[in-house]
Chain A
Amino acid sequence: MPKIDKYNQTEFSAEEPLYERVTSPQKPVEPVIEVEKEITVPVNNKKKKILIASGVITVSLLVIILILMSGGGGPVSNGESDPTPTPTAADTRTPMQARLEELKTELRDADPNQQPLLFPAMDYDISLGSTDG
């Protein structure tokens, strides 16, 4: 108790001798070490993230290219050559099988609900009105 009385109570606790003892003169070195650690970690993270991002981009681009290639990105065929099987497929199929496959393709093309030539939807009443109105 008398010891406490010796202290000036208007001072902040951080300025007390007890705390001053804890922070020895060598202590300020510590933050430097921590700083180094802190600096090296983001660099590694950054590299990692860049690698992951570039990997994802490459894979995505490959997927897009594959989709575009399989989605008929090439020139539009005139339809006559489409039912013809590829040479490898023709080797394994009998002529009767090939004929049936061709018929199935023709049937798909003949779907009456897929008729693209419906009467064009336009405004057939276009008029500015007569000179009276």
Chain B
Amino acid sequence: MRRLLSFEAVNLLTNKSQLTRSTLAAFCLAALVAGGVAFAQDQASETIFLKRFKTEESQRLIGLYQANFEKYKTSERDFYLAKAQYQQINTLASLESAVVSTRQVMVDRADVLIVYEELLAASLVDSTGAELSMKQDTLAELQSQIGELKAHKEVILAAQDRAAVYRAGIDFSLLVPELSATAYETLSQIVIADVQRVYDKTVTYYADLKKAQAEIEISPLKAEERKRAYGETDALMASIGDNLDLIRGSVTAKNQRVDHSSYTEIARSLSSAHAQLSQAMDFLNELERGGRSEI
């Protein structure tokens, strides 16, 4: 009887350990699946993110920008630590360490901004729908700011003491509003150009579709139906064109510089034009399918 009990106990223990192992395996699998899905989603969003950068140069720059930004984040952490340590213990050694890390984080910040501005310039050059005169002015401004940032970097590298680093920081803070304004101005031009380019292509497509469908003979009833469909599509396309003109006009006529909030406003207005364009494409899809079914 006692032996039976002990075997039952052994059996129970074996089952228990198997249960533990199965649970562990299940957890590992769940983690693997979750990790795999997260990785895949990450890869997919990364692909969408990088789709905007079509040329080899802009792809090289976005890679460099991401690497520089990572480097900046690390040196920013080091700077906060060194600064806190200096403020706590207030020794010469901690001051030296704080000055060195301040210099480093300022250099890394300048590197991020230099590549960022280069990337903006490359993206503006790539965007085909931007207005040429505005594009050239903005590109010249970006080039000038890249030069200023490089000069700022040289000043930081040459700064040997705390006072020199402090002065470089003050000079840089005067540069930031200009950098930000140029960046948002460039971005405004890029986003407007992107939607404008698709709109222009859609106008051409619509004209071609009308031309192709005019060559096919259809019943008077169908012709009336199509006329009404064209009327709706014409009105929508005209409305999109007007909206885009208004948005472009608001950017060109602006006396004050574009900042983050005005850029957000431009993007919001463009979103509405973007949605209208999507609706127009649905109409065109319907028209195209209707035309094919009548052949």
User: Considering the complex, which residues of chain A in the window 66-80 have a beta carbon less than 8 Å from any beta carbon of chain B?
Assistant: 67-68, 70-73, 76-80
User: Contact between B11 and A38 (Cβ–Cβ < 8 Å)?
Assistant: yes
Q: Which residues of B contact A42 (CB under 8 A)?
A: 11, 14-15
> How many of B's residues come within 8 Å of A, CB to CB?
91
In the assembled complex, the Cα of A107 lies from the Cα of B113 at a distance in Å of: 29
User: Contact between A128 and B98 (Cβ–Cβ < 8 Å)?
Assistant: yes
User: Considering the complex, which residues of chain B in the window 84-143 have a beta carbon less than 8 Å from any beta carbon of chain A?
Assistant: 86, 98-99, 102, 105-106, 109, 112-113, 116, 119-120, 123
Q: Which residues of A contact B52 (CB under 8 A)?
A: 79, 109, 114-117
**How many Å from the CB of B92 to the closest CB on chain A?**
13
User: Contact between A57 and B25 (Cβ–Cβ < 8 Å)?
Assistant: yes
Is B241 part of the contact surface with A, judged by Cβ < 8 Å? Answer: no
User: Contact between B166 and A130 (Cβ–Cβ < 8 Å)?
Assistant: yes
User: Contact between B292 and A125 (Cβ–Cβ < 8 Å)?
Assistant: no
Q: Which residues of A contact B102 (CB under 8 A)?
A: 126-128
Main secondary structure of the interface of B (DSSP, over half): helix
Which of B29, B46, B267 counts the most chain A CB atoms within 10 A?
Answer: B29
User: Contact between B277 and A119 (Cβ–Cβ < 8 Å)?
Assistant: no
> How many of A's residues come within 8 Å of B, CB to CB?
60
Is B148 part of the contact surface with A, judged by Cβ < 8 Å? Answer: no
Given A68-B39, A103-B202: A114 touches B48 (CB 8 Å cut-off): yes
User: Considering the complex, which residues of chain A in the window 81-128 have a beta carbon less than 8 Å from any beta carbon of chain B?
Assistant: 82, 94, 96-97, 99-100, 103-104, 106-107, 109-120, 122-128
Residue of B nearest to A35 (CB): B7
Is A31 part of the contact surface with B, judged by Cβ < 8 Å? Answer: yes
In the assembled complex, the Cα of A94 lies from the Cα of B23 at a distance in Å of: 54
Q: Which residues of A contact B179 (CB under 8 A)?
A: 119
User: Contact between B11 and A117 (Cβ–Cβ < 8 Å)?
Assistant: no
In the assembled complex, the Cα of A72 lies from the Cα of B271 at a distance in Å of: 27
Residue of A nearest to B86 (CB): A128
Residue of B nearest to A127 (CB): B169
User: Contact between B54 and A80 (Cβ–Cβ < 8 Å)?
Assistant: yes
Is A131 part of the contact surface with B, judged by Cβ < 8 Å? Answer: yes
Is A46 part of the contact surface with B, judged by Cβ < 8 Å? Answer: yes
The interface stretch among B191-199, B214-222, B228-236, B248-256 is B191-199
In the assembled complex, the Cα of A55 lies from the Cα of B217 at a distance in Å of: 62
In the assembled complex, the Cα of A70 lies from the Cα of B120 at a distance in Å of: 31
Is B270 part of the contact surface with A, judged by Cβ < 8 Å? Answer: yes
Q: Which residues of A contact B152 (CB under 8 A)?
A: none
Q: Which residues of A contact B202 (CB under 8 A)?
A: 103
Q: Which residues of A contact B187 (CB under 8 A)?
A: 115, 117-118
In the assembled complex, the Cα of A100 lies from the Cα of B281 at a distance in Å of: 7
Partner of A67, one of B36, B173, B176, B281: B36
Q: Which residues of B contact A46 (CB under 8 A)?
A: 14, 18
Is A17 part of the contact surface with B, judged by Cβ < 8 Å? Answer: no
User: Contact between A67 and B53 (Cβ–Cβ < 8 Å)?
Assistant: no
**How many Å from the CB of A83 to the closest CB on chain B?**
10
User: Contact between B99 and A106 (Cβ–Cβ < 8 Å)?
Assistant: no
Q: Which residues of A contact B285 (CB under 8 A)?
A: 100
In the assembled complex, the Cα of A97 lies from the Cα of B7 at a distance in Å of: 74
Known contacts A31-B3, A107-B277, A117-B187; can you find 9 more A-B pairs with CB under 8 A? A73-B43, A76-B47, A79-B53, A96-B212, A114-B52, A115-B190, A120-B69, A126-B79, A131-B166
* Residue positions of A touching B, CB distance < 8 A: 31, 34-35, 38-39, 41-42, 45-46, 49, 53, 56-57, 60-61, 63-64, 67-68, 70-73, 76-80, 82, 94, 96-97, 99-100, 103-104, 106-107, 109-120, 122-131
* 10 examples of A-B residue contacts, CB within 8 angstroms: A31-B4, A38-B7, A45-B18, A49-B22, A53-B25, A57-B25, A111-B274, A112-B191, A123-B105, A131-B162
